Structure 1
């Protein structure tokens, strides 16, 4: 349980930063910045908890919201948003986003397994936990969901969920394997983004 919380907290902090930066890019006021950060950081977990039918973690424990507020304050204090132009293409945004959606994908897979889901359920819970917050943020800010327009975003989330499920079946889902999976997912996301990898479109 502790490893789930540790990974989720890392994801929340990273997602808060990417949501904040996205809100800055859109010129939001402080309420808009908070909502963009909140949805990015906690929206996927809320969707996950609704899907598995458990109490919503973010609304029953204080730590998730405290992390969001702390990261928002630190982002403002250290002025990580000095240049808004093409902010979503800057390394800090891409890397923070990669960390959060891979962390959330792993946590989603863990929770799905805990609730007895099969490989398909694990893959979809991992996906919605991984990218659900970004989808809600993009809807709020009237953007095409980012996972539909950038390199293998959703595909990697699905793959992380499936790989974790296979590790679970082989009984090697220990802390070392999880760290390796986390590093693998982040690396694949960064490479896919900068190489411009995409799934092939449907052709006649």
Structure 2
């Protein structure tokens, strides 16, 4: 399983409110603030992925298959950790690269990619079937097929391709505005807490 690392830094993109707050904090308080932000970012990212998973079953529905729950499981792999002036977030799964642009997938460990073409193939590897063979269609496409229920009929299980290009899907992860809004929410709560401490002294 691959890991995608995202680093969110305190830069000029921050709102004036956040910049002013950070400039007013000493290093110890900044560390505490970014620790709270990391916890919040981890939560909203995990929730966002879970919600995004509910609308990303196009392939399964097209094939008449049951969704695999792949994205739902990855939502539990989000980890965010604080550092001075930044939050580093890690999430498992190459799929999240699509949040930042289109992704070209090329066959590496095998000669061809196996793209599910049948409901039974969705979420399963080709090696799990013991009766597949390569079939070349008249249109020039290659498939892994198996004998059908009727004599002389075939069932196409996987389409074979050297590579595919997956389109960008920015909605797989929260947008920058969502993270900034959450940081501002934490900042406001942090300021309120500090004022309560001062008033009690």
TM-score (norm 2): 0.29
TM-score (norm 1): 0.28
User: Rg larger in 1 or in 2?
Assistant: 2
